[in-house]
Amino acid sequence: MNGKYVPDLSRLQATCDVNYARLLKLLPDFDNDSLIYQFDNGHGLAYEVKITECSRYTTTIELLQKNQGMPEYLQPTMQVRLYHDVRMAEVLQTQHVKVAQGSYDYPNRDMHQPNEKELVNLFLTEWIHFCQQHLQSRQQNQRTN
């Protein structure tokens, strides 16, 4: 790679904006200490959303994917901060590793990708979309029964 990676801030901000709006649909009530989403997709997946910190302008949540029969250290986790004043959600850490910088030199000691912050926030977008699809299908199945 020639030169230092320069993040596209408008694209990152747009991703964080979308993630905030979609997370609010999953978490309509911030009064709960823990929200648990579980569904059976044939692979024993369960999703858990924990509110770990809540203040006037921010809420920090932890997203956990629970896979039956898989060691805990291999199960995806993310810590996300929701900024209510600017209506954005940003991934703070994933797999217990902080993602603090907008770009990283490569190679680096922790082997972060140059655009690590962008990648983990895009992964959050996909994770939310996946949860929304499964929650909708579960709700539709419950209505038809």
Q: Write down the pTM of the prediction.
A: 0.79
pLDDT tens-digit series, residues 78-121 = 999 999 999 999 999 988 777 777 777 778 787 777 788 898 99
Cα separation, 69 vs 87, in Å, equals: 37
Q: Which residue has the higher pLDDT, 94 or 68?
A: 94
Q: Which of 80, 51, 77, 82 lies closest to 64 in space, CA to CA?
A: 77
| C-beta atoms surrounding 145 within 10 Å | 5
